[in-house]
Structures are given as C-alpha cells and as structure tokens.
C-alpha cells in the first residue's frame, strides 16, 4: 500500500489537537516538539502513548523531540497528543499506508548556529522507492515557513518558526540546504524515514526479528553471530525468490495472453480454410451436374433422339466446361494449401515461443494447440478427399470422351470431325 498524507498542523504551544482533520484509527502521527531558548529537549507526554524517534540534546539554545503514535480505537483525538512540556512550538503530520509493525526507518538530526537551514542525510532502511522522508525544521527565525527544500513537497506551515516537507517515494535522501536563508540564527533539523506497508517487507521484518531472537538463544556448534549470518542469508534468498515469483507471474500472464491470441488466429485461419473447402465442394456439385448432362447427351446419342453431330458438339462443350471446372478447382485447392501453410506455420512458431516463456499452466495451452492441430489434420483429410473427387470426374470425362469418340467413329464421315478439348 502506498503512503499518503492525511493531515498536518502547527501550534505555538506544548500540545495540539488532532481532532476534526480527518485522522482515523490506524493512522500514523509524527509529532515534532520544538523548544527555543534551551538545549534541554521537551519531555515526552509519558505513559507509553508516544514512542520517541529523536531525543538528542540541542545546541545553540534550541532543541526538539520527535515521537510517533499509531492511532488506536478509543483514542480521544482532541487530547491524545498530551503535553510535551517546555515545547514552545509543536507540529504534526498524519500518514496512512505505513508499515504498521515497524513504521519508522532511518532518521538523522542536525542543526547550525547560522541562518542557513540544512536537512541531514538519512541512511534509508528501505531503498525500493516506497518510503517517504519527513523533513522537520525548527528555528529561532520567524520566516522559516517561507523557504522550500528541493526534491520534496512543501507541506506548509502556519508558524514562522517551523517548516514541514516530505520526500515522497524516495530511494535515497541526501543533505541539502533550503532555498534561502532565514532571518535569525540557530536551528534544529531532522529527517525521518516512514516505511510503506508491503507484504514482502512484512515478511522481511518478521525474518529479521526471528534472526535476532534465534541468534540470541542458539548455542553449541555455532556461535550466535554465525547463526544470525546464516539466517540473514536465508532471508535474503527468500526475498529474492519472492521478487522472482512476482516477475514470473507477470511474464506468465503476458505470455498466456499472447498464446491465446495466436490460438484464436489459428481458429480463424481454420475457419477460412473450411470456407474455401466448402467453395471447392460446390465445384464438385457443378462438375457432377455437368457429368450428368454429358451422360444424358450420350444416352440420347445412343437412342437416336438427337443427331450424332449435335450430340458430339454438345458433348464437346460439356467436356470443355468440366475441364475448366477441374482446372479452377485445382488452382483453388493449391491456393488454399499454400495459404493455410503460410498462415499456420508462423502461428505455431509464435505459439511455441510463447509456451517456452510460460512458467505455469502449459497443459491448457498445449491442449488448445493440440485441438488446433487435430482440426488442421481434419481439414487436410477433407482437402485430400476433395482432390480424389476431382480426379474421379477427370477419369470419368476421359472415359466418356473415349466412348463418344468410338460412337462418332461408327457414324462414318463424322469421325474425323470429333475434337475433344480438355
């Protein structure tokens, strides 16, 4: 879950209300209690309500204390801040999306007796770009809220002694000066990393805790340091595997989509091939009708219902039509075979490439391809049968031609005039 800001506020006092600004149970609140005029830091309200982050002694007659709390059910927001005794200024920022088990990462403090405000370098505990760094500034100046800090978001402040900024989703945080000097010397500067919620990071923190505990209790053949080192290495490997699993799942989803697209393309190609075969079979019917007409003509020739000359002329025309049909059908079949081969070959190669990248669920993809292969095999068989049908009419025409030629030869003077064109 990504971090986001809920609210912030400031007051020239030692306490502040968190009510009526949108803060809810589970939100993380950081409080910066600043003291001008003394190096003794303000006190924590006590009672375990607030956990200290920065408590080091001040310098140049100013100091500060920073603490945090995750708001609990039953907290009274108007008074939960408590009193940070001796603070002259107080500010807070509330965030959500933090790592509940361990919200605070690295932090650093600084300050100078000059009019230049400089945020300190933070050694980040999380470097994947999910953490925020909250930059607090407390100064004896009255215009500290007017300067800005590069590479951060200015969260605004209504108090001239305070400044609040956030470096959002950062992998590192380095020291740098604010945009301008302020009107008085002496300041205390702090930067606090807030860790974002993450399942893998929660596992990492749990393993870290386990490592520490086991390291303290292990005795005997291995020292605690060796045990900790071994467990740390194992934890690192687990996190690496977790990232690989996430990456592999992403690759699997992408590859599956590509494979499914190719299988759909194969289905469309088979549908087109089937349509073409249907058209070819329509030619078969036309050939059959023509052969029927030839047979009828021959029959009439034998029965004398038509003259031999008319019969032979009609027969010649019909045979020419049959030959044309056969040539057209053969060309169509050749075109179909070539098109199917050209389309399906690359498709299967692409499917094969996609399958090679899959890490899971290959059975479903292989089943789809196998079904496609079986369908193509069926189409090939159909085409083969269609070719056989075409060969049969061709043979029949040749036989009829020979027979009719014999009949025409029996007509004496008509024999030399018979020309069959195929």
SS3 of the chain: the string is CCCEEEEEEEECCCCCCCCCCCCCCCCEEEEEEEEECCCCCCCCCCCCCCEEEECCCCECCEEEEEEEEECCCCCCCCCCCCCCCCCCEEEEEEEECECCCCCEEEEEEECCCCCCCEECCECCCCCCCCEEEEEEEEECCCCHHHCCCCCCEECCCCCCCEEEEEEEEECCECCEECCCCCCCCCEEEEEEEECECCHHHHHHHHHHHHHHHHHHHCCCCCCHHHHHHHHHHHHHHHHHHHHHHHHHHHHHHHHHHHHHHHHHHHHHHHHHHHHHHHHHHHHHHHHHHHHHHHHHHHHHHHHCCCCHHHHHHHHHHHHHHHHHHHHHHHHHHHHHHHHHHHHHHHHHHHHHHHHHHCCCCHHHHHHHHHHHHHHHHHHHHHHHHHHHHHHHHHHHHHHHHHHHHHHHHHCHHHHHHCCCCC
Q: What angle do CA 409, 411, 416 make, to 5 degrees?
A: 50
> For the ranges 12-16, 116-120, 246-250, 256-260, which has the lowest average pLDDT?
246-250
* pLDDT tens for each residue of 223-239: 556 655 655 665 665 56
Q: Model confidence over 74-96: pLDDT tens digits? A: 999 999 999 999 999 999 999 99
Lowest-confidence segment of 102-116, 167-181, 190-204, 366-380 by average pLDDT: 366-380
Q: Who's near 298: CB < 8 A, 6+ residues apart? A: 311, 315, 400, 403, 404, 407
pLDDT over 90 at 337, yes or no: no
pLDDT confidence of 421, banded at 50, 70, 90? very low
Query: Given a cut of 90, is residue 112 above it in pLDDT?
Result: yes
CA dihedral 14, 18, 20, 22 (to 10 degrees): 150
Kindly tell me if the per-residue pLDDT of 373 is higher than 60. no
Cβ atoms within 10 Å, residue 131: 27
Query: If you average pLDDT over each of 20-34, 294-308, 313-327, 383-397, which comes out highest?
Result: 20-34
pLDDT at 286: 63
Residue 285 has pLDDT above 90, yes or no: no
For residue 305, give Cα distances in angstroms to 101, 315, 396: 106, 14, 23
Q: Is the pLDDT of residue 323 over 70?
A: no
The full length of the chain comes to: 422
Instruction: Tell me the average pLDDT across 372-377.
Output: 56
Report the interhelical angle of 308-357 vs 224-303 (nearest 10°): 180
* Chain mean pLDDT for the chain: 76
Q: Say if residue 218's pLDDT is above 80.
A: no
Amino acid 305: pLDDT: 52
In what order do the strands lie in the sheet containing 153-154? 104-110, 187-194, 131-139, 162-170, 153-154
Find the mean pLDDT for residues 126-133: 97
Report domain extents, the chain: 4-197, 201-250, 252-417
pLDDT digits (tens, 9 = 90+) for 1-60: 799 999 999 999 999 999 999 999 999 999 999 999 999 999 999 999 999 999 999 999
> Comparing C-alpha atoms, which of 25, 31, 23 is closest to residue 5?
23
**pLDDT of 365:** 47
Q: Can you give the three-state secondary structure of 143-202, one letter per residue?
A: CHHHCCCCCCEECCCCCCCEEEEEEEEECCECCEECCCCCCCCCEEEEEEEECECCHHHH
Which pLDDT does position 168 carry in this prediction? 97
Please state whether the predicted TM-score (pTM) of the whole model is above 0.75.
no
pLDDT at residue number 370 = 61
Instruction: Determine the pLDDT at residue 272.
Output: 72
In Å, the largest CA–CA distance within the chain is 140
**Mean pLDDT, range 303-330, rounded to an integer:** 60
Pair 139, 161: CB distance under 8 Å? yes
């Amino acid at each position: 879950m990504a971090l986001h800001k809920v609210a912030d506020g400031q007051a020239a006092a030692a306490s502040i209300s968190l009510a009526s600004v949108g803060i809810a149970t589970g939100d993380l609140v950081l409080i910066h209690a600043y003291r001008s005029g003394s190096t003794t830091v303000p006190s924590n309200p006590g009672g375990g309500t607030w956990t200290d982050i920065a408590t080091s002694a001040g310098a140049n007659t100013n100091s500060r204390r920073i603490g945090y709390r995750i708001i609990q059910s039953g907290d009274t927001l108007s008074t939960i801040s408590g009193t940070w005794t001796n603070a002259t200024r107080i500010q807070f920022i509330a965030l959500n999306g933090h790592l509940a088990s361990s919200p605070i990462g690295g932090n650093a403090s600084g300050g100078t007796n000059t009019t230049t405000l400089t945020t300190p370098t933070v050694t980040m505990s999380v470097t994947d770009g999910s953490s925020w760094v909250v930059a607090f500034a407390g100064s004896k100046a009255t215009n500290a809220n007017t300067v800005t800090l590069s590479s951060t978001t200015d969260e605004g402040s209504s108090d001239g002694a305070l400044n609040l900024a956030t470096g959002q989703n950062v992998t590192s945080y380095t020291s740098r000066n604010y945009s301008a000097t302020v009107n008085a010397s002496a300041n205390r500067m702090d930067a606090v990393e807030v860790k974002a919620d993450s399942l893998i990071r929660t596992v990492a923190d749990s393993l870290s805790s386990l490592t520490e505990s086991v390291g303290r209790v292990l005795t005997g053949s291995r020292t605690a340091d060796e045990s900790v080192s071994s467990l740390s290495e194992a934890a690192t490997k687990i996190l690496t595997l977790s990232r690989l699993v996430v990456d592999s799942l992403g690759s699997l989803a992408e590859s599956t989509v590509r494979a499914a697209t190719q299988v759909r393309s194969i289905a469309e190609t088979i549908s087109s091939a089937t349509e073409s075969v249907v058209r070819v079979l329509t030619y078969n019917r036309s050939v059959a009708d023509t052969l029927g007409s030839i047979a009828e003509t021959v029959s009439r020739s034998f029965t004398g219902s038509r003259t031999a000359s008319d019969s032979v002329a009609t027969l010649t025309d019909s045979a020419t039509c049959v030959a044309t049909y056969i040539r057209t059908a053969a060309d169509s079949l050749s075109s179909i075979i070539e098109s199917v081969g050209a389309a399906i070959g690359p498709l299967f190669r692409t499917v094969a490439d996609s399958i090679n990248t899959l890490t899971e669920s290959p059975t479903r993809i292989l089943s789809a391809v196998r079904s496609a292969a079986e369908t193509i095999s069926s189409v090939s068989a159909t085409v083969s049968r269609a070719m056989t049908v075409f060969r049969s009419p061709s043979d029949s025409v040749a036989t009829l031609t020979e027979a009719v030629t014999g009949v025409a030869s029996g007509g004496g003077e008509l024999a030399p005039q018979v020309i069959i064109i195929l």
